[in-house]
Amino acid sequence: MIYKTFQDMRLSALGLGAMRLPVTDGEYAVIDEAETGRMVAYAMEHGINYYDTAWGYHDGCSEVVLGKALSRYPRESFFLADKFPGYDLSNMDKAEMIFEEQLKRCGVEYFDFYLFHNVCEMNIDAYLDKKYGIFEYLMRQKQSGRIHHLGFSAHGSYGVMKRFLEAYGEQMEFCQIQLNYLDWSFQDAEKKAELLEEYQIPVWVMEPLRGGKLAALSREDTKRLKQLRADEETPAWAFRFLQSIPSVTVTLSGMSNLKQLQDNIRTFETERPLDRQEFDTLMEIADGMVKKSILPCTGCRYCTSHCPQQLDIPSLLSLYNEHRFTEGGFIAPMVLMAVSEEKRPDACIGCRSCEAVCPQQIKISEAMSDFNRRLRA
């Protein structure tokens, strides 16, 4: 196992994310405890010392089952991370109750790492609102030793991350973002990583395989990669990409069975960062994957002044692209919750005034209507 230095600690470069644990009868909330126990045992034996859970994973059962599996080991032999569930605004005034319950669920006296979960458009105002005092409460837990290291995770835009960092950046010790070779440009991950570097905040990675999208590529792309490294399997390329980014410290992978865990551990036995040609090839592959399924909006904004509904068309198309490419997911619905109702895609009246001026000839009205359909599905 490769280890990374974080302050005075050695963290395994691969962390076990407990959001997709094996389940029984296909029920998300019914975790297979025996299999999870075997996975944690294997992970511990093979050097993984970082374990990540959250209030909402497996409808609250992840904290309990992971805590139980880890209770077989000395407390100082692993690092446990948990998160404040601010992705649900109704939790904002319950920081103390939730934190106490999390310690109980996990069966621990302290968390090594604790995060503001998913800083994004929908919750940034509440996270910064002194009325709720989340930051102040968490800082008090840190002072009393019940949180050792405080950080945040973010699915929000670059602008949202910047706002959060301007407020709390000095106290944030780490940040978890969605980072992989596909999102390097598609979701501005490169810019976000640069922003964190300005604050000297190391990066924790989530979704290294983009929900499995990077675990298998087209035959043509696979062949291109095999020509560069005959012995590297397709999923390993995603990890080699991350090994090429110096600020990446822990890479979290939500593993659902022993085989995935074994494969990932094998990849993290060696550090084989990409050379320039390999990096560029991955970027070309990512570009090709994205271009195949998204609308080519360049953000020129010629259309916006022609919209009688004053919709922010390029922003909505960017969300549409994300939603279509991901084949659903929570990001677009989450961002749209922060957009006023009269500016959402269903406010489009289909007049097509925008299309007359779009240099990319995008069928914007069709896209808005398809977006609505997908959001309601």
Tell me how far apart the alpha carbons of residues 56 and 285 are, in angstroms, rounded to a whole number.
Answer: 34
Q: Is 353 in the site for ligand SF4 (CB under 6 A)?
A: yes
β partners of residue 114:
82, 150
CB 57 within 8 A of CB 105: no
One residue of 29, 89, 337, 351 binding ligand SF4 per CB under 6 A: 351
Q: Which C-beta is closer to ligand SF4: that of 229 or that of 343?
A: 343
Binding track over 305-344 against ligand SF4, x by CB under 6 A: -xxxx-x-xx--x---------------------------
DSSP, residue by residue, 7-61:
TTEEEESEEEETTS--BSTT-TT-B-HHHHHHHHHHHHHTT--EEE--TTGGGGH
One residue of 303, 332, 336, 339 binding ligand SF4 per CB under 6 A: 303
CB 153 within 8 A of CB 83: yes
CB 13 within 8 A of CB 1: yes
Shortest CB 237 distance to ligand SF4, Å:
32
Q: Is 297 in the site for ligand SF4 (CB under 6 A)?
A: yes
Binding track over 246-285 against ligand SF4, x by CB under 6 A: ----------------------------------------
Shortest CB 298 distance to ligand SF4, Å:
5
- Region near ligand SF4 per CB under 6 A, out of 10-18, 162-170, 320-328, 356-364: 356-364
Q: Is 162 in the site for ligand SF4 (CB under 6 A)?
A: no
- What are the Cα distances from residue 195, in Å, to 109, 123, 160? 33, 20, 12
One residue of 301, 327, 328, 342 binding ligand SF4 per CB under 6 A: 301
Q: Is 348 in the site for ligand SF4 (CB under 6 A)?
A: yes
Helices (H), the chain: 33-45, 61-70, 95-106, 124-128, 134-143, 158-168, 183-186, 189-198, 219-228, 234-243, 258-267, 276-293, 313-326, 331-337, 364-376
One residue of 26, 74, 145, 350 binding ligand SF4 per CB under 6 A: 350
One residue of 162, 272, 352, 374 binding ligand SF4 per CB under 6 A: 352
Shortest CB 346 distance to ligand SF4, Å:
10
- Region near ligand SF4 per CB under 6 A, out of 2-10, 168-176, 252-260, 348-356: 348-356
Q: Is 367 in the site for ligand SF4 (CB under 6 A)?
A: no
Q: Is 365 in the site for ligand SF4 (CB under 6 A)?
A: yes
- Binding region for ligand SF4 (CB under 6 A): 297-303, 306-309, 311, 313-314, 317, 348-354, 358, 360, 362, 364-365, 368
